[in-house]
Structure 1
């Protein structure tokens, strides 16, 4: 799935869509944690989910500050992100991790774009860069770990 998040012209739309993206990511992470056979892998994935929960909190605060309503759940893409995980579960832990890597591709792209948004204030850009770093770290771990299994 190729995301369009980060291409919004208005900062309010960007923050709203990032919130949707984080809700979708959290749902996918929870699905992965439940499905992985290796509980050590599940524990690591749970730390990544916690990063997403923290991102969501910051984004909700941003939404409040700019006067836009924060979505309280994911959107239709959530079915795609969690559906990939459910399908991959048929093939084992490596397939689940590979599916999550593709989800992380979208979050990396979204935060790369967000960090360059012309209406983002310096504090927002700093957060977007931090989130980007987190997402790159997650993606690298999923890719490396899946190959090692």
Structure 2
């Protein structure tokens, strides 16, 4: 494996771990949300993260790397499943998820800026678009929750 591919595999593996961590946070959030519409929406977002893992893992394998099989609940997401399990109320849970999505957006943005070879770059662009959609929905929903009725 060339040094460039090794670098790409390492960065993709970081993204895969982050997507696993995001899924565990989403699972915790979905279990605790009261509003069924919010739960449905977060389920869709969680599936996006599952799709990201599947696609990125396939690239890592094709390049001779070994994709991680779980997250490592470390540096990237501060508001993982453990933290969310301690929160009460849809507002607090959505806020924690929004902070997570800021971080997933940042990591995908950093990787898109690396300008990896195709098709990796296009795939990362697609994933970043998903992340931006998640963040936007959370921001909009939180905004509406805080509007005076």
* Alignment TM class, shorter chain as reference: 0.7 to 0.9
Give 4+ residue runs of structure 1 displaced > 4 Å after superposition: none
Question: What is the CA–CA distance in structure 1 between the aligned matches of 2:99 and 2:69, rounded to whole Å?
Answer: 24
Question: What is the CA–CA distance in structure 2 between the aligned matches of 1:12 and 1:44, rounded to whole Å?
Answer: 31
Q: How does 1:64-143 map to 2 (within 5 A)?
A: 64-77=61-74, 80-87=79-86, 89-90=87-88, 92-118=89-115, 120-143=116-139
Structure 1: which 5+ runs fail to align?
1-8
Tell me the TM-score normalized by structure 1. 0.86
The one of 14, 22, 25 equivalent to 1:25 is: 22
In the alignment, which residue of structure 1 is the partner of 2:3?
none
Please say if 1:13 is aligned against 2:13.
no
Pairs aligned (count) = 138
Q: Which has the larger radius of gyration?
A: 2
RMSD: 1.6
